[in-house]
Amino acid sequence: KINRLNSSDKFEAADIDKRKMEYLYDAGGQGKGPFVFMDSETYDQIELTGDDLPREQSQWLKENTPCVVLMYDNKVLGVELPTTVELEITHTVPQPKGATATNQLKEATLETGAVVRVPPFIETGQVVKIKTDSGEYLGKA
């Protein structure tokens, strides 16, 4: 059944609690959680499951990353990540000889296990800036 609304209908706004938290660690150690966060004001810790924090988000988190956890009635609705993160490249192939085209990209694995596309001049051990909503490489950190 589809409920239609009139322009005169009114609803009470949900009181969404935005809690500033810091990501501490992945208690499961496999990138699937539970993920432990600490409230920046009360120092209370909570654990989020992979349902609360999908891999599309958790792949950008390293220890001490500040986040905002959205809650309603003490239930987690979601997590707002920082717009960008700075992560170290743990593996990538060396720059191919003669690779001077600026539009060429290669794969690189980050310290969190995420794989991104970076320019050929980026090397293992360098820290790069990544957009968390798209995984886009933004530059060296």
Based on the domain organization, do 122 and 74 belong to the same domain? no
Based on the domain organization, do 70 and 88 belong to the same domain? no
Other C-beta atoms lying within 10 Å of the C-beta of residue 110: 23
Is 8 among the domain residues? no
CATH number at residue 66: 2.40.50.140
Is there a contact between 110 and 116 (Cβ–Cβ < 8 Å)? yes
Task: Assess whether pLDDT exceeds 90 at residue 98.
Answer: no
Residue 108 belongs to domain spanning: 84-140
Is 9 among the domain residues? no
Task: Show the tokens assigned to 23.
Answer: 């990501």
Task: Show the tokens assigned to 129.
Answer: 């800036």
Task: Assess whether pLDDT exceeds 70 at residue 100.
Answer: no
Is 89 among the domain residues? yes
For residue 12, what pLDDT is reported?
79
pLDDT tens-digit profile of 8-47?
888 777 789 999 999 999 998 878 889 999 999 999 999 9
Domain boundary among 32, 59, 80: 80
Domain boundary among 80, 105, 130: 80
Tell me the sheet residues that pair with 129.
86, 139
Counted domains in the chain? 2
Based on the domain organization, do 37 and 92 belong to the same domain? no
For residue 99, what pLDDT is reported?
62
Based on the domain organization, do 64 and 106 belong to the same domain? no
Task: Assess whether pLDDT exceeds 80 at residue 103.
Answer: no
Based on the domain organization, do 39 and 65 belong to the same domain? yes
Domain boundary among 80, 108, 123: 80
